[in-house]
């Protein structure tokens, strides 16, 4: 007998899988030359310092793209038929 799931409850939250970043990733990219700071987890300070130093070394490069990345995961709620299955 086929089962049709018309609606199931899901929850959205931070990704908690092993190896996933625990905080947001912060990075800065120069919009003049596309050089970047690289991503740092949980703090924006290294990206800010990188941007300041980058302008110090390249005085015409004064604009940056701030990129903040976080990861989400959708999980089945207790009432969802997928609840209890392995991840
Ligand atoms: Zn640059």
Query: For residue range 5-58, what is the model confidence (pLDDT) as tens digits?
Result: 567 799 899 998 888 888 899 999 999 999 999 999 999 999 999 999 999 999
Tell me, in angstroms, the distance from the centre of ligand 1 to residue 32's CA. 5
With respect to residue 6, please indicate whether it lies within any of the assigned structural domains.
Answer: no
Domain that holds residue 40: 11-74
With respect to residue 51, please indicate whether it lies within any of the assigned structural domains.
Answer: yes
Tell me, in angstroms, the distance from the centre of ligand 1 to residue 65's CA. 11
| Cα–Cα distance for residue pair 56/59, rounded to 1 Å | 6
- State how many domains the chain has: 1
With respect to residue 20, please indicate whether it lies within any of the assigned structural domains.
Answer: yes
Q: Whole-model pTM?
A: 0.74
With respect to residue 40, please indicate whether it lies within any of the assigned structural domains.
Answer: yes
With respect to residue 39, please indicate whether it lies within any of the assigned structural domains.
Answer: yes
Backbone region of residue 42 per phi and psi (left: phi > 0; alpha: psi in -120 to 50; beta: other values): left
**10 CB-near residues (< 8 Å, 6+ apart):** 74, 75, 76, 77, 80
With respect to residue 1, please indicate whether it lies within any of the assigned structural domains.
Answer: no
With respect to residue 28, please indicate whether it lies within any of the assigned structural domains.
Answer: yes
């Amino acid at each position: 007998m086929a089962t049709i799931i018309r609606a199931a409850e899901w929850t959205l939250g931070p990704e908690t899988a092993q190896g996933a970043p625990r905080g947001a990733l912060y990075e800065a990219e120069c919009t003049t030359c596309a050089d970047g700071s690289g991503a740092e987890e949980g703090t924006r300070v290294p990206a800010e310092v990188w941007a300041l130093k980058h302008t110090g070394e390249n005085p015409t490069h004064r604009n940056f793209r701030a990129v903040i990345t976080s990861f989400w995961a959708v999980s089945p709620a207790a009432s969802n038929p997928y609840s209890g299955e392995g991840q």
